[in-house]
A and B are shown apart, each in its own frame.
Chain A
């Protein structure tokens, strides 16, 4: 049964990919006029016309501020058990201090949604996968909890759920024995909204985080990336991350 649905999945993916590509090309001129992340109709599959990305400006990131982390925890019900070593963290604030100069700065660190994710390469069952629109996810239905993706992730983005959970958020299913990480709030993105962390950062007018379509040259994130010098963390690994940083 599983192999049948896999074949169907591949066929459907191929057909929908081709069809959506054609439709996308036809519709693009009208689409370009829209500004922020436009919701795709719920019945349609995602396509690689879109590549979601994030731009984080470390210069605008305040040291004591935890808004993005708090928003993510609230959005996904990451309550934790007062055990920092094993509690899940999808996004965290990292403080950097230059060993030579003493200069300090902070930035949020989350799953980088690489174009060539090592976590996807190493997953034995294919549970860790990259969606067509660039979002790297864990299919928790087939995750066996081997944690190899956690070994492979260069950014320590993944968390393993070490205990039985209850009262999960309906839009963020998570359970014992599987691995998880930041999903770019995929349930919000599919609905035409932005991730919770970005929304919280903008709501407080820090504006350190921008989310958008990297494939759309007229999106805010693309214009900013073209204007300013940005970097990927561990760029030497050539993973082509979807999250870029200013000020590091």
Chain B
């Protein structure tokens, strides 16, 4: 294998146009956040019943994807698969970028975003949320150090250690994110230990889908070769992760279906829930899991770059739907305070809560993705994250053997 050469992408008009296009979404998000904060949250679709809405769907999705985006780097450093080594730097950058995007949305949706300093200085250590704040900021530092170890030749001997630390850190981080919901005894859709590992598996899937899309886009637009050896490995891995997520979703629902007490909420999510049921079956399972699986493993579509890109995009859309069903569907179903009784009140007890995403929330959510993409684009322009070539002869450890076999 030849030595790798990393180089920044070129600047110039196309770069600035891309950045400008992404920047429009970022600015729109800032405007939406100002509108929400200035008028108060009554201008959004969120209420005292649906407490966390579309911004949280996007924020949690991005944070989960961020942790998973580091997977490629972890495979190279922790599990010593040299084929993934050229991709490790970009993996680290994307992880930080997605996390920043998710956190931006989360902070901008706070009731008092001006009190961010309070959030960083007053801590209740029994709160998993407080731990998450420290895990998120620490993650950026740990991955930053990891990237430095990879980039600085003198520090290369520490790459393995840094990669291992980052790997452990992100497992704890994603466990924490899943536990935000898993620790809530109050709501039937959440109170489950399974949510933490499920979020970890989801992170593998969403993070890798993002990584594939960003990799393909960057290499296409900067006219750098991206060989099949790399891409096929990644897409096969994505297929494995999609299947793993399906397994966890199945276990979650089957367990709840066995528990009589949970039949109400399961019936709501899987049958009667209107938009939530449709999102679950059509978008999350169908478009987001089964269809990409078929596309990725079918002999003809599995080799086509276009279809691989579409599959990754479908995984992302399915992931957003999954978050929507978990976060908003889980809140829409009323809590059971008086088992066996029909409950009614002036505070929406006993009824399915209604929620319509409002425009400011949707704009804010998408601006999170825009922030992540902007950070990535600027990063690869400014520093040497991208290998000059990911052609097969550069990166495939089995290349010469294949060439001989083909000949």
Is there a direct interface between A and B, measured as CB atoms under 8 Å apart in the complex? yes
Q: Closest CB of chain B to A64's CB: distance in Å?
A: 13
Complex Cα distance, B116 from A63, in Å, reads: 45
Complex Cα distance, B338 from A98, in Å, reads: 9
Check if B347 sits within 8 Å of A100, measured CB to CB: no
Complex Cα distance, B336 from A237, in Å, reads: 12
Q: Closest CB of chain B to A79's CB: distance in Å?
A: 14
Check if B340 sits within 8 Å of A100, measured CB to CB: yes
Tell me, yes or no, whether B221 is within 8 Å of chain A by CB. Answer: no
Look across to chain A and name the residue whose beta carbon is closest to the beta carbon of B327.
A151
Check if A160 sits within 8 Å of B337, measured CB to CB: no
Which residues 106-125 of A have a CB within 8 angstroms of B? Answer: 109, 118, 120-125
Which residues 84-116 of B have a CB within 8 angstroms of A? Answer: 110-113, 115-116
Interface string of B327-359 (1 = CB under 8 A from A): 000010001011011111111110000000000
| Most chain A C-beta atoms within 10 Å of own C-beta, residue among B185, B186, B340, B343 | B186
B residues near A (Cβ < 8 Å) are: 37, 39-42, 47-49, 51-52, 110-113, 115-116, 118-119, 121-124, 126-130, 133, 180, 183-187, 331, 335, 337-338, 340-349
Q: Closest CB of chain B to A235's CB: distance in Å?
A: 11
Selected contact of A118 from candidates B37, B180, B186, B347, CB within 8 Å: B186
25 contacts between A and B (CB under 8 A): A2-B121, A84-B346, A86-B42, A86-B47, A92-B345, A92-B347, A95-B345, A97-B344, A109-B337, A109-B347, A122-B129, A124-B127, A142-B118, A144-B112, A144-B115, A145-B110, A145-B111, A151-B52, A152-B186, A154-B185, A155-B335, A160-B111, A161-B40, A162-B41, A177-B37
Check if A2 sits within 8 Å of B122, measured CB to CB: yes
Residues of chain A contacted by B48 (CB below 8 angstroms): 85-89, 150, 156, 158-160
A147 and B51 in contact (CB under 8 A), knowing A83-B42, A154-B335?
yes
Tell me, yes or no, whether A191 is within 8 Å of chain B by CB. Answer: no
Residues of chain B contacted by A122 (CB below 8 angstroms): 127-129, 183-184
Selected contact of B186 from candidates A88, A93, A146, A153, CB within 8 Å: A153
Check if B111 sits within 8 Å of A125, measured CB to CB: no
Residues of chain B contacted by A154 (CB below 8 angstroms): 185-186, 335, 337
Top 9 closest pairs, chain A to chain B, by CB: A145-B111, A177-B111, A163-B40, A126-B124, A162-B42, A154-B186, A85-B47, A124-B129, A124-B130
Complex Cα distance, B345 from A148, in Å, reads: 23
Secondary structure at chain A's binding surface: helix, strand, loop or mixed? Answer: loop
Complex Cα distance, B41 from A152, in Å, reads: 20
Tell me, yes or no, whether A19 is within 8 Å of chain B by CB. Answer: no
Tell me, yes or no, whether A37 is within 8 Å of chain B by CB. Answer: no
Check if A177 sits within 8 Å of B122, measured CB to CB: no
Tell me, yes or no, whether A225 is within 8 Å of chain B by CB. Answer: no
| Most chain B C-beta atoms within 10 Å of own C-beta, residue among A162, A164, A179 | A162
Residues of chain B contacted by A161 (CB below 8 angstroms): 40, 111
Q: Closest CB of chain A to B236's CB: distance in Å?
A: 38
A85 and B112 in contact (CB under 8 A), knowing A97-B341, A126-B122?
no
- 5 new A-B contacts, CB < 8 A, other than A122-B184, A127-B122, are A2-B121, A145-B111, A146-B111, A146-B129, A178-B111
Residues of chain A contacted by B42 (CB below 8 angstroms): 81, 83, 86, 162-163
Q: Closest CB of chain A to B281's CB: distance in Å?
A: 26
Interface residue count on the A side (C-beta < 8 Å): 60
Check if A179 sits within 8 Å of B337, measured CB to CB: no
Selected contact of B338 from candidates A85, A163, A179, A248, CB within 8 Å: A248
Tell me, yes or no, whether A143 is within 8 Å of chain B by CB. Answer: yes
A125 and B47 in contact (CB under 8 A), knowing A100-B340, A147-B111, A234-B337?
no
Tell me, yes or no, whether A99 is within 8 Å of chain B by CB. Answer: yes
Complex Cα distance, B39 from A143, in Å, reads: 18
Look across to chain A and name the residue whose beta carbon is closest to the beta carbon of B186.
A154
Selected contact of B344 from candidates A94, A121, A145, CB within 8 Å: A94
A96 and B338 in contact (CB under 8 A), knowing A124-B127, A125-B119, A178-B111?
yes
Tell me, yes or no, whether A3 is within 8 Å of chain B by CB. Answer: yes
Complex Cα distance, B187 from A233, in Å, reads: 15
Check if A98 sits within 8 Å of B115, measured CB to CB: no
Complex Cα distance, B180 from A99, in Å, reads: 34
A85 and B341 in contact (CB under 8 A), knowing A118-B185, A177-B37?
no
Residues of chain B contacted by A124 (CB below 8 angstroms): 119, 123-124, 127, 129-130, 133
Q: Closest CB of chain A to B104's CB: distance in Å?
A: 15
Look across to chain A and name the residue whose beta carbon is closest to the beta carbon of B122.
A125
| Most chain B C-beta atoms within 10 Å of own C-beta, residue among A142, A144, A164, A248 | A144
Check if A176 sits within 8 Å of B111, measured CB to CB: yes
Complex Cα distance, B185 from A187, in Å, reads: 31
Check if B40 sits within 8 Å of A146, measured CB to CB: no
A93 and B127 in contact (CB under 8 A), knowing A142-B122, A151-B187?
no
Q: Closest CB of chain A to B56's CB: distance in Å?
A: 9
A92 and B133 in contact (CB under 8 A), knowing A144-B110, A147-B51, A177-B111?
no
Check if A93 sits within 8 Å of B346, measured CB to CB: yes
Residues of chain A contacted by B111 (CB below 8 angstroms): 143-147, 160-161, 176-179
Check if B186 sits within 8 Å of A160, measured CB to CB: no
Selected contact of A99 from candidates B122, B341, B345, CB within 8 Å: B341
